[in-house]
């Protein structure tokens, strides 16, 4: 799995229009906090259980990728942590071209426990939308 900063990821998405861009956050996070345009939401875990279902996640990604395990798959979450486990599950299932977006959509916490102030997709001023 490669690890790219948000701006590097955006550049890759422009170069690889066939890349599958997946937001692994819960659907409510993706909708209300915001998300990059064109991203597919396939949660690593969902409310109320908040328990990962690696097999279910892999199956959903396989469907979205039409079974093409060499297709570039880019993974995004809030801070770049959930995507690590999601990426490992995809690697174990045979996916070969994975990218983890470092710092995720909202980035790391600052000293005041706020996100989007140090790094991340939104901090970098990349395109995003919100419900």
pLDDT at 43: 98
* Cα gap 99→7, rounded to integer Å: 13
pTM over 0.85: yes
pLDDT at 11: 98
Q: Which of 54, 98, 92 is nearest to 74 (CA)?
A: 98
Structure tokens at 85: 């486990």
* Cα gap 101→21, rounded to integer Å: 10
Cα angle, residue 64 at apex, residues 60 and 70 outer, rounded to 5°: 105
pLDDT at 104: 97
pLDDT at 131: 84
Q: What is the pLDDT of residues 69-127, one digit of tens each?
A: 999 999 999 999 999 999 999 999 999 999 999 999 999 999 999 999 999 999 999 99
Mean pLDDT for the chain overall: 96
* Cα gap 54→9, rounded to integer Å: 24
Interhelix angle 82-92/54-64, rounded to 10 degrees, is 70
pLDDT at 126: 98
pLDDT at 124: 98
CB 74 within 8 A of CB 39: no
Please give the CATH superfamily to which domain 2-101 belongs.
Rhodanese-like domain (3.40.250.10)
Residue where the block lists tokens 């409310």? 47
């Amino acid at each position: 799995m490669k690890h790219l900063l948000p701006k590097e990821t955006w550049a890759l998405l422009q170069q690889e229009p066939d890349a599958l861009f997946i937001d692994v956050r819960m659907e409510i996070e993706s909708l209300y906090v915001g998300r990059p345009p064109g991203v597919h939401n396939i949660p690593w875990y969902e409310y109320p259980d908040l328990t990962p279902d690696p097999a279910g996640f892999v199956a959903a990604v396989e469907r979205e990728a039409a079974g093409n395990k060499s297709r570039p798959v880019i993974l995004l979450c809030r801070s770049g942590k959930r995507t690590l486990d999601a990426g490992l599950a995809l690697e174990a299932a045979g996916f070969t071209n994975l990218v983890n977006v470092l710092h995720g959509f909202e980035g790391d916490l600052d000293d005041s426990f706020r996100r989007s102030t140090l790094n991340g997709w939104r901090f970098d001023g990349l395109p995003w939308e919100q419900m």
